[in-house]
Copies of this chain bind each other. A is one copy, B any other.
Amino acid sequence: MRSFLCIIFSLITAMPSAISQDDSAFFIKSIYDYTLEKGSCDQWLAHLSDSIGGRLAGSENAELAVDYSYRVMEGFENVDKTTKQPCTVPKWERGDKEEVKIMWGDDMRELKALSLGNTIGTGAAGIKGEVIEVFGLDTLEELGSAVLKDKIVFFNRPMDPKRLRTGHAYGEAVDQRVHGASRASKHGAKGVLVRSVTTLHDDLPHTGVQSYAADIEPIPSLAISTNDANYLSKVLESSKVEAYIKNNPQVLDSVTSYNVIAEIKGSEFPDEIILVGGHLDSWDVGGGAHDDGSGCVHAMQVFKTFEALNYKPKRTLRCVLFMNEENGLGGGKAYAKNSNAHNEFHLAAIESDAGGFTPRGFGCSAHPSVFKPFLAALQGFEEFLEPYDLYIKAGGGGADINPLKSQKGLLIGFRPDGSRYFDFHHTTADVFENVNVRELRLGAAAITSLVYLIDQKGL
Interface centre among A33, A36, A166, A438 (most CB of B within 10 A): A438
| Residue A271 is within 8 A (CB to CB) of chain B in the complex | no
B164 lies within 8 A of A388 (CB): yes
User: Chain B nearest CB: distance from A33 CB in Å?
Assistant: 5
| Residue A439 is within 8 A (CB to CB) of chain B in the complex | yes
B419 lies within 8 A of A161 (CB): no
B164 lies within 8 A of A32 (CB): yes
Give the residues from 96 to 135 in chain A that come closer than 8 angstroms, CB to CB, to chain B. Answer: none
Q: A388 to chain B: which residues have CB within 8 Å?
A: 164
User: Chain B nearest CB: distance from A255 CB in Å?
Assistant: 39
User: Chain B nearest CB: distance from A102 CB in Å?
Assistant: 26
Given the complex of chains A and B, what is the CA–CA distance between A367 and B439 in angstroms? 35
User: Chain B nearest CB: distance from A129 CB in Å?
Assistant: 33
| Residue A420 is within 8 A (CB to CB) of chain B in the complex | yes
Q: A164 to chain B: which residues have CB within 8 Å?
A: 32, 387-389
Given the complex of chains A and B, what is the CA–CA distance between A436 and B388 in angstroms? 23
| Residue A379 is within 8 A (CB to CB) of chain B in the complex | no
Known: A389-B391, A391-B389. A162 touches B37 (CB 8 A): yes
Q: A37 to chain B: which residues have CB within 8 Å?
A: 161-162
Give the residues from 153 to 182 in chain A that come closer than 8 angstroms, CB to CB, to chain B. Answer: 161-162, 164, 166
Q: Return the contact of A419 from the options B33, B423, B442 (Cβ within 8 A).
A: B442
Known: A33-B162, A37-B161, A162-B37. A358 touches B419 (CB 8 A): yes
| Residue A408 is within 8 A (CB to CB) of chain B in the complex | no
Q: A199 to chain B: which residues have CB within 8 Å?
A: 438
User: Chain B nearest CB: distance from A394 CB in Å?
Assistant: 13
Interface centre among A37, A164, A388 (most CB of B within 10 A): A164
Given the complex of chains A and B, what is the CA–CA distance between A438 and B169 in angstroms? 13
Give the residues from 166 to 216 in chain A that come closer than 8 angstroms, CB to CB, to chain B. Answer: 166, 199
Given the complex of chains A and B, what is the CA–CA distance between A253 and B33 in angstroms? 47
Q: Return the contact of A417 from the options B162, B166, B358, B423 (Cβ within 8 A).
A: B358
Given the complex of chains A and B, what is the CA–CA distance between A387 and B164 in angstroms? 9
Given the complex of chains A and B, what is the CA–CA distance between A389 and B389 in angstroms? 10
Beta-carbon nearest neighbor of A388 in chain B: B164
| Residue A360 is within 8 A (CB to CB) of chain B in the complex | yes
Given the complex of chains A and B, what is the CA–CA distance between A419 and B166 in angstroms? 20
Given the complex of chains A and B, what is the CA–CA distance between A420 and B37 in angstroms? 16
A438 lies within 8 A of B32 (CB): no
Beta-carbon nearest neighbor of A393 in chain B: B389
User: Chain B nearest CB: distance from A185 CB in Å?
Assistant: 34
Beta-carbon nearest neighbor of A423 in chain B: B436
User: Chain B nearest CB: distance from A121 CB in Å?
Assistant: 35
Beta-carbon nearest neighbor of A440 in chain B: B419
B161 lies within 8 A of A36 (CB): yes
User: Chain B nearest CB: distance from A415 CB in Å?
Assistant: 10
A419 lies within 8 A of B436 (CB): yes
A36 lies within 8 A of B162 (CB): yes
Q: A417 to chain B: which residues have CB within 8 Å?
A: 358, 417
Interface 1/0 per residue, A387-411 and B, CB below 8 Å: 1110100000000000000000000
Given the complex of chains A and B, what is the CA–CA distance between A419 and B32 in angstroms? 14
User: Chain B nearest CB: distance from A3 CB in Å?
Assistant: 17
User: Chain B nearest CB: distance from A19 CB in Å?
Assistant: 16
Interface 1/0 per residue, A425-448 and B, CB below 8 Å: 000000000001011001000000
Q: A439 to chain B: which residues have CB within 8 Å?
A: 419-420
User: Chain B nearest CB: distance from A182 CB in Å?
Assistant: 31
Given the complex of chains A and B, what is the CA–CA distance between A231 and B269 in angstroms? 50
22 contacts between A and B (CB under 8 A): A32-B162, A32-B164, A33-B162, A36-B161, A37-B161, A37-B162, A161-B438, A164-B387, A164-B388, A164-B389, A199-B438, A358-B358, A358-B417, A389-B391, A419-B436, A419-B438, A419-B439, A419-B442, A420-B436, A420-B438, A420-B439, A423-B436
Closest 5 CB pairs of A and B: A33-B162, A419-B439, A419-B438, A36-B162, A358-B417
Q: Given A36-B162, A358-B417, 12 more contacts at CB 8 Å? A: A32-B162, A32-B164, A33-B162, A37-B161, A37-B162, A164-B387, A164-B389, A166-B438, A199-B438, A358-B358, A389-B391, A419-B436
